[in-house]
């Protein structure tokens, strides 16, 4: 019996692929399968995958897509053929510790989701990322609020395959930031959640990473994700029962979009995108301030949202003032240290 299916989307990953796949082949849990999904790579990645499939036919299965459907689509195709009791996702430029699958599987004991702490790895140093899942196994309202407020990753977790299949949970395709959608939907549907002790996943960050290397074009794609989540919940008929959670996720993501995507640094703002967010919020979540969870968001982000709803230019002005104040504080601190 396959206990864990590990799905790896691959796109032009020749520089990282050996380290990633070798870390999976070295897992101490024997009952795993590794599904490598090539998403129309133009480098030597497909040939590397063929070599792995030939040398490790008992562990590795490969798919070669004819159309580039990005990471979300590649993971979906992997899930379609997965046979494991649980599914794990590993990005092709990351790698994992040898005990990851065993530790997560043994801790899960039938839970819908099981996760662990992880590392941010820039190739030179490690940064610990510790996650708080709360106490217990059942995902009650309080734990769900906590989890959905900090569910921005899906690696370093395993998901019960039957749970994903029963609830038709997969990734949106042909968009970036598909992880935010998947994380929220799985967190909304899950009934049991546990955490395994230890850190196993090395999330590699560099200036050449997927988001950083393509600049604003991919950053702007995150703007569509809140609407995808909201529309999916309404279409599935689960919106009203989870209105507070869905509305808060929608507005929290839009606040993040305003701060991180549209404002940027002074002189690099995008009024058209701010106006786009204002229109979306007015149409899709006009009563956002009435959500009981809204007040738990940072005041600064709520202020930017309010300013955007009045005028995108006002939001830009407010951000420039904040930026100048922060800069002055930094300069003042440097002057004090010199004295």
Domains of the chain by start residue, with CATH: 4-211 (3.90.550.10), 215-337 (no CATH)
What pLDDT, on the 0 to 100 scale, is given for residue 188? Answer: 97
Handedness of CA 236, 242, 248, 253 (dihedral sign): negative
Q: Which residues, 6+ apart, have CB-to-CB distance to 6 below 8 Å?
A: 24, 32, 33, 34, 35, 87, 88, 89, 90, 101
C-alpha 139: how far from chain center? 20
Which pTM does this prediction carry? 0.91
**Interaxial angle between packed helices 225-235 and 243-256, expressed in degrees from 0 to 180 and rounded to the nearest 10:** 170
What pLDDT, on the 0 to 100 scale, is given for residue 209? Answer: 42
What pLDDT, on the 0 to 100 scale, is given for residue 63? Answer: 98
Is 29:55 a contact under the CB 8 Å cutoff? Answer: no
Mean pLDDT of each 10-residue bin along the chain, 339 residues long:
98 96 98 98 98 98 97 97 98 97 98 96 89 88 89 87 98 92 96 96 70 51 92 98 97 91 68 92 96 94 94 88 78 66
């Amino acid at each position: 019996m396959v206990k864990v299916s590990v799905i790896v989307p691959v796109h032009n990953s020749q520089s990282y692929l050996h380290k990633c796949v070798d870390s999976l082949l070295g897992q101490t849990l024997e009952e795993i399968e590794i599904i490598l999904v090539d998403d129309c790579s133009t480098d030597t990645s497909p040939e590397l995958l063929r070599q792995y499939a030939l040398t490790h036919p008992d562990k590795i299965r490969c798919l070669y897509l004819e159309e580039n459907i990005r990471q979300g689509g590649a993971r979906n195709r992997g899930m379609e053929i997965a046979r494991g009791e649980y599914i794990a996702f590993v990005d092709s430029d990351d790698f994992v510790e040898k005990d990851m699958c065993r530790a997560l599987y043994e801790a899960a004991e039938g839970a819908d989701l099981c996760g662990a702490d992880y590392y941010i790895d820039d190739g030179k140093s490690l940064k610990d990322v510790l996650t708080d899942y709360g106490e217990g196994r059942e995902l009650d309202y309080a734990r769900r609020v906590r989890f959905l407020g900090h569910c921005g990753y899906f690696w370093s977790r395993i998901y019960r395959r039957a749970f994903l299949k029963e609830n038709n949970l997969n990734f949106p395709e042909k968009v970036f930031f598909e992880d935010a959608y998947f994380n929220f939907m799985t967190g909304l549907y899950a009934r049991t959640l546990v955490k395994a002790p230890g850190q196993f996943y090395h999330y590699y960050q560099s200036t050449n990473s997927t988001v950083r290397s393509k600049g604003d074009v991919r950053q702007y794609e995150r703007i569509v994700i809140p609407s995808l989540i909201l529309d999916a919940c309404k279409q599935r008929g689960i919106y009203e029962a989870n209105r507070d959670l869905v509305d808060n996720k929608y507005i929290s993501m839009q606040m993040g979009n305003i701060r991180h995507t549209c404002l940027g640094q002074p002189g690099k703002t995008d009024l058209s995108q701010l106006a786009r967010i204002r229109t979306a919020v007015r149409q899709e979540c006009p009563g956002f301030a009435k959500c009981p969870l809204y007040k738990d968001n940072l005041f600064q982000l709520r202020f930017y949202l309010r300013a955007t709803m009045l005028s995108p230019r006002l939001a830009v002005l407010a951000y420039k003032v904040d930026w100048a104040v922060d800069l002055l504080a930094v300069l003042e601190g440097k002057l004090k240290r010199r004295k």
